[in-house]
Structure 1
């Protein structure tokens, strides 16, 4: 049952939601507006105080999460924020109960989010669903040597379709990866609003993976996105990153605790700099989603 005061936020509530995002996460208005434009204002949800003002907000959207080689309907949740003056009154819990009730009614099998605090979401039924590690290394540590049967080709950050085809192999083989929406692809390939440089990693039979890097800045190179399903694709990506040694001092990327680039690189200087937990809530295994892979959601990385 949806709590009283919970529901969609309309255009008249946009300023209130932007204010809560700034107070909760430090998001500037420009960033909030970019996310709203990408995902759509219809993704905003809120809970209202007795006087009708927006006391808490969240962004929600539907996507597929892959388990056991098949997509499972999931509800993604982000930007959960409550007015600081009204915290401690159960507003956040009421907001999230509304989010989960709506998701279940829409047929989602699970919900996923990156939590700001684990205990709060654990009380709502979420469990730890994996860890994203921020890695860094000097470019020289990533030199994997020549890949004689591989080629690096230019890609187009404005066309995610061929990249999605390459990523489909990972979706089918790994556990818990999301199938990206158009908005998610845009954020992956243009994280700060400027398109990243995309490189296709090809073998004798064509592209096997890809890597996207942001322009070097402050002697650092940041990997915006990558898909490395083969050892050849991993080594090609590492060679590409190592080639920036004259321009940057540090390469940064996101991966799992057993990241393939970290595992294949030279150990000197490769280090994990940060860890970010993901959570998932599973509230039904009924109907077509009754499969052994889904309960593993809260144990697998995604």
Structure 2
């Protein structure tokens, strides 16, 4: 078994494994899939398992920046993980994921996330549940009736990809969000070239949506002010005469829930997503922390897939920044990669202890760690 880059010459073989795993794609979707995979291959972001020169498994690394505490952290979003049916249960998947983590580290990503079809194989390589993606249905007419001043908007074009990315990032930073991520502007350009998507820009906001049977599906929404937020939602709401509802993924504390006049929200679906730290010291250095928290707590981290993330550290947090400083000595809260990921995502230490993901240390310091990593992680995009 060899783990290496997927060769462009093996694109059809990789598509065959994908079809045997998730079902066949339509002819139009095949072209889109191949174009996406070729872009990733060019950046060494597609890892494959070869058995005797034959592709038997693949995984794609999406290049994202994920926001934690309002700061952008380089994130490898793992998608398209497929193993040929006749090779499942043979260890191919675990070997592939170890290769994916090595490649992610080589490419400079410090955290990694994925949406699991099943959690066991990903937990085996250190991923743990971190947050949710919650999709809700809103009343289109209720959005139409939102009060507020008018805001100038214009239609977006593929040339606006960088502006769309900038506007969304500004919102994540201002709200000190944890979990949302941004796409490479190249991928945003592809979406903006889709005539089925209606995308509008304001000076400090963006909305992108499409018709879907009797509803609108909102793909992108971001606004830097309450006025713009209300105006962009009203814009979507102007279609209430033909589309009864709006389906959109939103964070649990999105302001629109407090703007709607009545209880006109229903949850359509909730998906868990998982997190792993690819480089724990670098991830802590990149993450944002609460400005009022000042502490130093010993941690003992063990990561069988990364020596640099293993050992005894002092976690020091001050002024909204954190650092994992390697130090000598014994003692401290002991965490494996799953516990480290869950703590990073704001899971209370008491939960980690009860789940068997944390042990030792001084229980009196648990509340300090809870305060440092406090977060309600969510995603609004799927990959």
TM-score (norm 2): 0.68
**Residues 160 and 17 from structure 1, CA distance in 2 versus in 1: closer, same or farther, beyond 3 angstroms?**
same
Whether the aligned pair in 1 keeps the contact of 2:64 and 2:184 (CA below 8 Å) is yes
Whether the aligned pair in 2 keeps the contact of 1:131 and 1:257 (CA below 8 Å) is no
| Cα distance between partner residues in 2 of 1:219 and 1:61 | 32
Corresponding position of 1:156: 156
Corresponding position of 1:225: 220
Corresponding position of 1:135: 136
Whether the aligned pair in 2 keeps the contact of 1:20 and 1:81 (CA below 8 Å) is yes
Does residue 21 of structure 2 align to residue 18 of structure 1? Answer: no
| Cα distance between partner residues in 1 of 2:225 and 2:24 | 37
Q: 1:182 aligns with which of 179, 185, 203?
A: 185
Q: 1:103 Cα deviation (Å)?
A: 1.6
Of structures 1 and 2, the one scoring higher in RCO (CA 8 A, sep 6+) is 1
Does residue 101 of structure 2 align to residue 105 of structure 1? Answer: no
Whether the aligned pair in 2 keeps the contact of 1:222 and 1:253 (CA below 8 Å) is yes
| Cα distance between partner residues in 1 of 2:87 and 2:162 | 44
Whether the aligned pair in 2 keeps the contact of 1:76 and 1:112 (CA below 8 Å) is yes
| Cα distance between partner residues in 2 of 1:260 and 1:107 | 34
| Cα distance between partner residues in 1 of 2:16 and 2:147 | 51
Does residue 345 of structure 2 align to residue 298 of structure 1? Answer: yes
Q: 1:7 Cα deviation (Å)?
A: 0.6
Matches for 1:217-296 after TM superposition, within 5 Å: 217-286=212-281, 289-290=284-285, 293=288
Corresponding position of 1:38: 36
Whether the aligned pair in 2 keeps the contact of 1:189 and 1:225 (CA below 8 Å) is no
**Residues 223 and 61 from structure 1, CA distance in 2 versus in 1: closer, same or farther, beyond 3 angstroms?**
closer
**Residues 33 and 183 from structure 1, CA distance in 2 versus in 1: closer, same or farther, beyond 3 angstroms?**
farther
Q: 1:46 Cα deviation (Å)?
A: 0.7
Q: 1:140 Cα deviation (Å)?
A: 1.7
Corresponding position of 1:204: none
Q: 1:187 Cα deviation (Å)?
A: 5.6
| Cα distance between partner residues in 2 of 1:287 and 1:280 | 15
Q: CA RMSD in A?
A: 2.5
Write the deviation string for residues 62-94 of structure 1: whole angstroms up to 9, x where unpaired: 333233444322222110001112211111111
Provide structure 1 residue ranges, at least 5 long, that are not aligned to the other structure: 202-206
Q: 1:48 Cα deviation (Å)?
A: 1.6
Whether the aligned pair in 1 keeps the contact of 2:130 and 2:273 (CA below 8 Å) is yes
Corresponding position of 1:197: 198
Q: 1:22 Cα deviation (Å)?
A: 1.8
Give SS of 1:151's match: coil
Q: 1:10 Cα deviation (Å)?
A: 0.9
TM-score (norm 1): 0.85
Give SS of 1:133's match: strand
| Cα distance between partner residues in 1 of 2:18 and 2:257 | 34
Whether the aligned pair in 2 keeps the contact of 1:189 and 1:195 (CA below 8 Å) is no
**Residues 253 and 157 from structure 1, CA distance in 2 versus in 1: closer, same or farther, beyond 3 angstroms?**
farther
Q: How many pairs align?
A: 289
Write the deviation string for residues 28-78 of structure 1: whole angstroms up to 9, x where unpaired: 1542431332351513221122x3211111111433323344432222211
| Cα distance between partner residues in 1 of 2:141 and 2:112 | 40
Whether the aligned pair in 1 keeps the contact of 2:73 and 2:286 (CA below 8 Å) is no
**Residues 130 and 186 from structure 1, CA distance in 2 versus in 1: closer, same or farther, beyond 3 angstroms?**
farther
| Cα distance between partner residues in 1 of 2:63 and 2:121 | 22
Matches for 1:51-90 after TM superposition, within 5 Å: 51-90=52-91
Q: Decide which structure has the larger Cα Rg and report it.
A: 2
Give SS of 2:153's match: strand
**Residues 250 and 66 from structure 1, CA distance in 2 versus in 1: closer, same or farther, beyond 3 angstroms?**
closer
Whether the aligned pair in 1 keeps the contact of 2:50 and 2:56 (CA below 8 Å) is yes
| Cα distance between partner residues in 2 of 1:288 and 1:114 | 20
